[in-house]
Each structure stands twice: as C-alpha cells, then as structure tokens.
C-alpha cells in the first residue's frame, strides 16, 4: 500500500500541468502577498479568469485575435547555416519576433486586455522596463478603446525614448517613476499603488509570469500558445519532439510560454537563460535563480536578488527586458524540482550571439533573446547533428540598435 501511495505522489508531483494549486502556490513559491486593499480585486480577477479560461466564446475570441491581429502562428525557422557553422545540433528558432509589435509580449496583453473589457474596466495600467510590454498593452488598449497608463522608470524612459514615443502615439499616458531606483521594479510598485487607489475602474496588466495569483498562471497560459505551436511545428518538420528548449528568463514569460506545454515530456531538456550581466561573480547581474535567494516581492514568493537585510538589490543587464531582481514563481519551482536548468549568460556573450545571428541568418534578435541564442552556441556543438534545439526568439532587435551602436562607440 505504502509503495503505491508514494508512486501516486510521485506521479502527481511530476504532472506539471496541475500547478499552481488553488491558492496559486507552486510548491513553496507563488501565492498572494499583497496589501489588503488589493485582495478583493485580485480575488475577483481569480474568479473571472478561471471562468473565462473555460468559456469557449472567450477562448475563440482570443484565438481569433492571435491569428488575425497578432499574426499567429509564428513561424518555426530552421537556422541551417548557423547550425552548420556551430557544428552540432540543428537549431530551430520560434519566431516570436515576427508578431505584431515585435515580441511575445502581445500574446499576454491581448488576453488580459480582452479580460479587462469583459470585466467592464475602462482603464488599464501597466509597468514596463524596456517598453515592450508597455507598447503591447497600449496597442491592445487602443484597439479596444480603453484608457491606458504605463509606469516606466525615469532612467528607462531616457534609455528607451523610441518606445516611449510609440506608447504616446498609441494614446497611452507614460508616467515617469522616480521613486527607489527609478527602474522596472519601482514602476511595478507605482502600478500597484495606482491600482490600490483606482481598484473600481482599473485593470492591472502585469507583463510577466510574476505578481500575485492568478497572474503567474494567467500570463503563462496566454503565452503557452508559443509552446503549443512549437510542439506541432517541430513534430511536422522533424517527425519527433525537440530534444532541447532554450529561452531567456527575466520575469520569465516567454520561457514559461515555450516550456509549459512540454513540461510533462520527460525527454525534452529545458534551459532557462538568465542575464549574468558583467558576470555572476561581479555582483552586477540579473540572475536570481543562478545567484539569488527565496523571498517575497511584488505579490509572490520566489527567488530574488536581495542583501542580507532582505532589501532588494538593483539588477544589471545590457538587456532592459531582463533587468528585474525577481523571477516568476513557477521558474523558482522548476529550478528546485530540477525540471528546468537555469544557466547564466553575460552581456558580452549575448552581444556576440546578437551579431552572429544577424550576420549568419539575416535576423536581428532582441538583446533579451540573444541570451538564449548565446547559450545555444555553447550547447549545440556538444550535441549530435540529428538532435533538435528550439530557441525562443522572443523579440526583434530593432529597439536595441542604439544600445548596440553605443557600445561600439557609434552614434546612430
């Protein structure tokens, strides 16, 4: 008897589609750590999301928008020339960079802003780092005629002036955040403050698989179209499942979107690539899974960059989209269970991969995605040529041209 029940427990633990539990926990991670004022709106969102996730009309509407507005399915591209040069496994790129607005972020904002309009909310707010999530939110808000306010760190506003202008063109109000360190984490704090003050009218569109339950689950679900398509596409092109998946992890939404539909496929290896900035040992990085500790921030328990007093440390990465001191709680759980390997890639390594893909395949990747590509350059040569690696090319690199040029001392 005891053997049987322990087998059953093992099976449950290995059925990753059962997570999170009803209270949003992934093992010890996740949960709902927010001020009391936000508890009722968050609980309302939990109920509403669970309802619409089962509602066939909503699911159809979401799929229709993904097809006709976002431009899905995104292609699965065999980077043949680059694979040959690296001399190992075949690298396939999931082309999320070809989505409307240029990244995977819009999968989630289509879902959440649709949900906001179903809930009768007239106003959506969002936090943004590099501006990609802000642009994706402003885009869908414009399409559905909702007011949109985006909180963005004052430093990021300077670094990403083009995305700020894009958001304003789309009719969004961009509010500079000067509190704390004036970056993404502080933008998130200010968005939470706005939500607490405007709970009746406002829907908070969180841009990654973090925050209080149901956000980590909901954002994962909206992005899991990436993994579902990838599964079908690789099966069609290759006749079997991929051997390995690679995606970059900041908050971790593109990685969860790719990984989730494969989690129960034991033979598919997975690598989440964190930004090691100037190197893990330098202390200037954005790699809480590789070098952080569990703690509580922004509504959930997860791995964080923090000092010995429990104060959050400002991260560093060349890529603004990975520049976050926390990570989605499901990634924390997948690290502890060993299902996904989390590995560091430095600014320098990411930049090399940025140039390699641009020159070898004629595709300019986002600096975020370049971290995943950089890890592929290390892994592919260790694998046989008949093996298949899928790299999530989560966004296009146009937004990063100025950053790359500046590093090379070029004024664009």
Partner 1 sequence: MTRLSTLFQHNRTSQRKTLAAFITAGDPTPEATLTLMHALVSAGADIIELGVPFSDPAADGSIIQAAGERALRNGTNMQTVLSTVALFRKTDNVTPVVLMGYLNPIEIMGYDVFAQQAAKVGVDGVITVDMPPEEGEALVHALKSNDLDSIFLLAPTTAPERIKSICDIASGFVYYVSLKGVTGSASLNTTEVAERLSMVREYTDLPVGVGFGIRDANSAKQVATEADAVVVGSAIVQRIAENLEDVDAAVICVSEFVTELRQAIDSVKWSE
Two tokens, residue 13: 């633990």
Q: Is 309 in the site for partner 1 (CB under 8 A)?
A: yes
Q: Is 341 in the site for partner 1 (CB under 8 A)?
A: no
CA atoms of 81 and 289, how far apart (whole Å): 33
Enclosing H/E stretch for 86: helix 80-86
CA angle 188–193–196, rounded 5-degree value: 125
Which residue bears the tokens 């997975």? 270
CA atoms of 127 and 177, how far apart (whole Å): 10
The answer to whether 209 touches 216, Cβ cutoff 8 Å, is: yes
Bond prior to 214 in cis (omega within 30° of 0):
yes
Query: Is residue 284 annotated as a catalytic residue, yes or no?
Result: no
User: What residues between 7 and 26 interact with partner 1 by CB under 8 A?
Assistant: 23
Q: Is 48 in the site for partner 1 (CB under 8 A)?
A: no
CA angle 77–335–89, rounded 5-degree value: 30
Return the number of the residue (241 or 296) whose C-beta is nearest partner 1. 296
The catalytically annotated residue of 96, 127, 306, 361 is 127
The catalytically annotated residue of 65, 83, 94, 105 is 105
Binding region for partner 1 (CB under 8 A) out of 182-190, 231-239, 278-286, 345-353: 182-190
Return the number of the residue (297 or 332) whose C-beta is nearest partner 1. 297
Return the number of the residue (7 or 37) whose C-beta is nearest partner 1. 37
For residue 202, the minimal CB distance to partner 1 (Å) is 11
CA atoms of 269 and 259, how far apart (whole Å): 10
CA atoms of 360 and 370, how far apart (whole Å): 14
Q: Is 208 in the site for partner 1 (CB under 8 A)?
A: no
Two tokens, residue 308: 């010995």
CA atoms of 83 and 123, how far apart (whole Å): 46
Q: Is 179 in the site for partner 1 (CB under 8 A)?
A: yes
Q: How does strand 123-128 pair with strand 202-205?
A: parallel
For residue 275, the minimal CB distance to partner 1 (Å) is 20
Return the number of the residue (289 or 343) whose C-beta is nearest partner 1. 289
Q: Is 205 in the site for partner 1 (CB under 8 A)?
A: no
Q: Is 39 in the site for partner 1 (CB under 8 A)?
A: yes
Query: Is residue 127 annotated as a catalytic residue, yes or no?
Result: yes
DSSP one-letter string for 377-412 = HHHGGGS-TT-EEEEEE-BBSGGGHHHHHHHTT---
**Among residues 347, 346, 367, 342, which one has the least CA distance to residue 357?**
367
Q: Is 122 in the site for partner 1 (CB under 8 A)?
A: no
Q: Is 186 in the site for partner 1 (CB under 8 A)?
A: yes
User: What residues between 357 and 386 interact with partner 1 by CB under 8 A?
Assistant: none
For residue 336, the minimal CB distance to partner 1 (Å) is 17
**Helix, strand, or coil (residue 388):** strand
Binders of partner 1: how many residues, by CB under 8 A? 39
For residue 329, the minimal CB distance to partner 1 (Å) is 12
Binding region for partner 1 (CB under 8 A) out of 86-94, 282-290, 301-309, 343-351: 301-309
CA atoms of 389 and 203, how far apart (whole Å): 38
Query: Is residue 67 annotated as a catalytic residue, yes or no?
Result: no
x/- binding map, residues 100-119, to partner 1, per CB under 8 A? --------------------
Interface positions with partner 1 (CB under 8 A): 23, 31-41, 179-180, 185-186, 188-189, 192-193, 196-200, 293, 295-299, 301, 304, 306, 308-312
Q: Which residues are catalytic?
A: 105, 127, 394
């Amino acid at each position: 008897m005891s053997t049987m029940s322990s087998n059953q427990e093992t099976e449950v633990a290995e059925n990753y589609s059962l997570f999170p539990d009803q209270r949003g926990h992934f093992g010890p991670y996740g949960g709902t750590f927010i001020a009391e004022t936000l508890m009722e709106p968050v609980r309302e969102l939990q109920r509403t999301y669970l309802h619409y996730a089962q509602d066939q009309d909503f699911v159809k509407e979401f799929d229709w928008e993904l097809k006709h507005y976002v431009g899905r399915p995104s292609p699965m591209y065999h980077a043949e020339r680059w694979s040959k040069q690296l001399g190992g496994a075949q690298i396939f790129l999931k082309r999320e960079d070809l989505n409307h607005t240029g990244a995977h972020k819009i999968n989630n904002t289509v879902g959440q802003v649709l949900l906001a309009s179903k809930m009768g909310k007239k106003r959506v707010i969002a936090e943004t780092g590099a501006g990609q999530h802000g642009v994706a939110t402003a885009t869908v808000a414009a399409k559905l005629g909702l007011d949109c306010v985006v909180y963005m760190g004052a430093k990021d506003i300077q670094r990403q002036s083009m995305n700020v202008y894009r958001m304003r063109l789309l009719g969004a109000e961009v509010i500079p955040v000067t509190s704390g360190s004036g970056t993404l984490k502080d933008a998130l704090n200010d968005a939470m403050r706005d939500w607490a003050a405007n709970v009746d009218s406002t829907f908070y569109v969180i841009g990654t698989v973090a925050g209080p339950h149901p956000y980590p689950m909901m954002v994962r679900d909206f992005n899991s179209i990436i993994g579902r398509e990838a599964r079908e596409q690789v099966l069609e092109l290759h006749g079997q499942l991929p051997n390995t998946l690679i995606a970059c992890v900041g908050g971790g939404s593109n990685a969860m979107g790719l990984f989730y539909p494969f989690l129960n496929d034991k033979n598919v290896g997975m690598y989440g690539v964190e930004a090691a900035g100037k190197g893990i040992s330098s202390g200037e990085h954005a790699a809480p899974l590789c070098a952080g500790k569990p703690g509580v921030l922004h509504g959930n328990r997860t791995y964080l960059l923090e000092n010995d007093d429990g104060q959050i440390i400002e991260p560093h990465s060349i890529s603004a989209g990975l520049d976050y001191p926390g990570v989605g709680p499901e990634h924390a759980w997948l690290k502890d269970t060993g299902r996904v390997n989390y590995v560091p890639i430095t600014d320098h390594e990411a930049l090399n991969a940025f140039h390699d893909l641009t020159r070898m395949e004629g595709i300019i990747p986002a600096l975020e995605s370049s971290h995943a590509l950089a890890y592929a350059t290390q892994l592919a040569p260790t694998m046989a040529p008949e093996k298949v690696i899928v790299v999530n090319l989560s966004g296009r690199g146009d937004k990063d041209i100025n950053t790359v040029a500046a590093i090379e001392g070029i004024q664009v």
